[in-house]
Amino acid sequence: MEKNRTQFAILGMLSLQPMSGYDFRKTAGQCLGYFWQESYGQIYPALKHLLEKRYVTRRRRRSKGKPDRHMYAITDRGRKAFREWMGQPAAVEKKRNEMLLKIFFGGKNDVNAQIRELENLRETNEKLLAELKDIDDWHVRNYDHHALTPYWLITIRFGIRRISALIEWCRESVKMLRHLPREVVSSVPDPIDFYFKSRGE
């Protein structure tokens, strides 16, 4: 099997419980949202492939008023492929943070607009942090609810730490931008020596 990770994310969810493509999107959004995201454009083709390879089975379930649903369940073949994938070392994703890229080059022309963007980011993430802490609490109180609880706590705490760090960084950066030197040194001694070169590398 190739390394299409969407398929493994789906297999993983199906290993917990049978569900439809729509369910997967929704459930994954809630449980994995802060470190894994999928869109329908990937999910439905992936389910098709999984079915062809007999890693999953499909049953049509009718419902009144709503469209029919395709309920998928993992097979033994699927479970085997999933376990194999789980054993392999995790790949590291490419990092891309457009806001950082823009800040590196001097950010917005209007410093106040830049500050507002950072404040917004902080506020959004403060809400997210509160939610994650609630989820953490719930799992601590219901530690015996599911065999995977300790693992879920580990992933949640990744989110909590990462988001807390982001919030602190927003605060610090806003402070720095507020105390920016008014008259900025605009002449660079030697353009060849900018940034790293000048550190003697």
Residue ranges in 87-116 that form contacts with DNA under rule CB under 7 A = 94, 96
Of 32 and 153, the one with the shorter C-beta distance to DNA is 32
x/- letters, 132..161, toward a copy of itself (CB under 8 A): ---x--x---x-xxxxx-xxxxxx-xx--x
Q: How far is the CB of 101 from DNA (least distance, A)?
A: 11
Residue ranges in 36-55 that form contacts with DNA under rule CB under 7 A = 37-42, 44-45, 47-48
Query: How far separated are the first and last CA of the chain, in Å rounded?
Result: 43
x/- letters, 10..39, toward DNA (CB under 7 A): ----------xxxx--x----------xxx
Of 30 and 187, the one with the shorter C-beta distance to DNA is 30
Single out the segment in contact with a copy of itself by CB under 8 A; choices: 47-55, 64-72, 73-81, 185-193.
185-193
Cβ atoms of residues 35 and 159 within 8 Å? yes
Distance CA 115, CA 133 (A): 27
Distance CA 145, CA 28 (A): 19
Q: Pick from 2, 52, 60, 184: which binds a copy of itself (CB under 8 A)?
A: 184
Single out the segment in contact with a copy of itself by CB under 8 A; choices: 3-11, 51-59, 68-76.
3-11
Please report, for residues 104, 109, 185, the alpha-carbon distance to residue 100 in angstroms, rounded to integers and kept in the order given.
6, 15, 22
Of the candidates 132, 138, 141, the one whose C-alpha atom is nearest the C-alpha of residue 161 is 132
Please report, for residues 21, 23, 24, 61, the alpha-carbon distance to residue 65 in angstroms, rounded to integers and kept in the order given.
19, 17, 21, 13
One-letter identity of residue 198: S
Of 98 and 110, the one with the shorter C-beta distance to DNA is 98
> Under 8 Å CB-to-CB from 166, ≥6 apart: which residues?
121, 122, 125
Residue ranges in 55-114 that form contacts with a copy of itself under rule CB under 8 A = 82-83, 86-87, 89-109
Of 128 and 177, the one with the shorter C-beta distance to DNA is 128
Q: How far is the CB of 164 from a copy of itself (least distance, A)?
A: 7
| Token pair in block for residue 40 | 């329908």
Cβ atoms of residues 76 and 94 within 8 Å? no
Cβ atoms of residues 81 and 55 within 8 Å? yes
Q: Given the rule CB under 7 A, which residues bind DNA?
A: 2-6, 20-23, 26, 37-42, 44-45, 47-48, 63, 65-70, 94, 96
